[in-house]
Structures are given as C-alpha cells and as structure tokens.
Amino acid sequence: MGENFDGPHALITGGSTGIGAAIARRLSASGARLTLAGRRPEPLKKTAASLREAQAVPFDVTDEAAVEEGVSIAIERYGPVDILVNNAGAAGSAPFTKTTPDAWRATLEANLTGVFLVSRAVLPAMLERGRGRIVNIASTAGLKGYAYVAAYCAAKHGVIGLTRSLALEVAREGITVNAVCPGYTETELLKRSVANIVEKTGASEEEARGQLLRVNPQGRFVRPEEVAETVAWLVGPNSGAINGQAIAVAGGEV
C-alpha cells in the first residue's frame, strides 16, 4: 500500500459523490482497485464507470445482512479489502428538544453503526493477512460541539471513540485505524445545510454561507480533494506509525 499502489483493493462507502468520490479518484490515480458502496445505485455506477478498475456494489451500511452480502460481492472480483474508507453518513439539524427519537436513532445508525458494521465485515481478513488500513471520515463535529446537531455530533464523537479503541486493539496486527475530520466542505451536503439555514432563518444564500464560513480561520470551505489527499497519506507507505488519530482538515478551526 502506498503512493504507487500495487493494486490494493479499497472499499469506499458513500463513494458516489462529494468527499467519497474525491477519495475514489485519488486512490484510483495511485493504482488502487475500487469498490464503491452506497444506497443509490445510479450515482455509484456513474462514478465507478469514470475510474479504472472500479466496481459499484450498492448496499445500506446500516443493514447488517446487506453489509455482509455487499462485502462478499466486492471480494469476489478484487479479493479481500486492503483499505477501508468509511465515508457514508448523513446529517440533519434540529433544536435538541425537537430532535425525535427516530431522528436520533437514524443519525447514529447512518454515521456510527455503519462504521461498526462495515469495519467488522472486513477486519477478519485483514487480521488473517496481517495488514490493512481503515480510515473513518468523521467531522470536526466529532472534536467539538455545534448547536442544533446534537445527534450528528454525538455520532461523530462516537466514530472517533471507535477509531481510537479499535486502533489499540489491532496495533500489533499490521493494521492502522484513523479518523479524518473535515470542517465544512464544498459538497452536496454543504448545499443542503445552506438551504436549511435559508429556509429556517430567511437569510440569503450568501448570508447562510457566511455564517458557516465564520468558523474557519482561513475564511473558506475545505475542498473534497484536500480530504482525499489526507486519506491517501494515511494509507500510504510511510504512515504505518500513524494510528488512532483524529486529523482535522479544517483550516485551523480545531
């Protein structure tokens, strides 16, 4: 595994758009064979078709049986997973007192339980072969608090806790487990956040974007390619000592 990959198999959840697609492009350029997973088949197929040696295997990361089946399908073509990037997730916002139990559970399942299920599915083969890289895409919301997204912050804090715990468990097994924590990043998710602010506050789109920009000391949003570059480094040949870390890609916000 490294900058010039010898064809390792990388599984990327949430791999069709945004940060996931940027990671797919970056790892593909380094020679990895890719399995892109997610719930929407068409965007997955479109992204996979634009890359060399990439397959789309749609599955819901919150469904244990679907995860097991999806991972089995993935390895039929490319063999055991060498690199796992847990990128799938979802964010919603509401005041704490208006956050329903259903919304709470759905947010934790999408952002935290999915990381657990997919990691558990690929880890045994990594342990058997004595090598592997797991990178969990968390968020600055896993390192600090934001108002009106209590469930999302709780889930992403959980992802970082899981990362640190599993990293210790497999530290002597040739496997590293790390988290990458982007700040507000130019993706469809950001567009939805801006639209939500506009809808709920009556602010203009420019004003809504400005509200989010204020938390970044650089005064700009993160680019998906910057997150992807961090992931590529973490799975590279000289990062074996980087383990159990939560790396902020946020312009100095954290």
**124 CB-near residues (< 8 Å, 6+ apart):** none
- The answer to whether 183 and 223 are in contact (CB under 8 A) is no
Please check the confidence at residue 2 and state whether its pLDDT lies above 50.
Answer: no
Give me the pLDDT at residue 9, please.
98
* Nearest alpha carbon to residue 52 among 84, 10, 91: 10
Structural class in CATH, domain 9-184+223-249: alpha beta
The question of whether 152 is a catalytic residue gets the answer yes
Please check the confidence at residue 97 and state whether its pLDDT lies above 70.
Answer: yes
**Is 0.85 surpassed by the pTM of this model?**
yes
Can you give 202-235 as a three-state secondary structure string?
Answer: CCCHHHHHHHHHCCCCCCCCECHHHHHHHHHHHC
What pLDDT digit, counting tens, does each position of 47-63 carry?
999 999 999 999 999 99
The single residue of 78, 146, 148, 152 carrying the catalytic annotation is 152
- Confidence class of residue 5 from pLDDT cuts 50, 70 and 90? low
